[in-house]
Structure 1
């Protein structure tokens, strides 16, 4: 995925722009960037960026085991999982 770089507030050389992009990418090694914004303000430069979403695997603690999927559970464990009480944020009334 290509990173979109936007420069506002003035003009800078491609070499300077590449240096700012390299600085941000070195700060977060291994991450992918959706966009990097370079805002020039006189003698100051503000950098802001958006990271690409990073996929993750949901890990749950079920019946004493840390699991990501239920595919290795037998029928009894699967039934136990389905019988669990699901807790969540219910419908709360607003107090006035």
Structure 2
């Protein structure tokens, strides 16, 4: 298989899954069929919480009023 064709398969996967990063790709040719076995890199995720009616991961982007509202709220344990 030519390098140009391999790059086309990689580009196809990148377009089909734009938010993923390709870790490995195995191309298996079976007659006229081509099977693609691929693995994406695991993604780190940020914990999202609902604070003062906003979905946030951290409070660092809150302005002074929202930060004060968060510190004044009643926290249930």
In structure 1, the gaps of 5 or more residues are 1-11, 84-96
Q: Paired residue for 1:88?
A: none
The alpha-carbon deviation at position 46 of structure 1 amounts to: 0.6
Q: Which runs of 5+ in 2 are unaligned?
A: 61-66
Give the drift of 1:36.
1.2
Q: Give the secondary-structure state (helix, strand or coil) at the position aligned to 1:21.
A: helix
User: Larger Cα Rg: Structure 1 or Structure 2?
Assistant: 1
Q: How many residues align?
A: 69
Alignment of 1:1-96 (within 5 A): 12-61=1-50, 66-69=55-58, 72=67, 73-74=70-71, 77=73, 80-81=75-76, 83=77
Report the structure, 1 or 2, having the larger helix content: 2
**Larger relative contact order, structure 1 or 2 (CA cutoff 8 Å, min sep 6):** 1
Q: Could you say what the CA RMSD is over the residues aligned between the two structures, in angstroms?
A: 2.6
SS in 1 for 2:7: helix
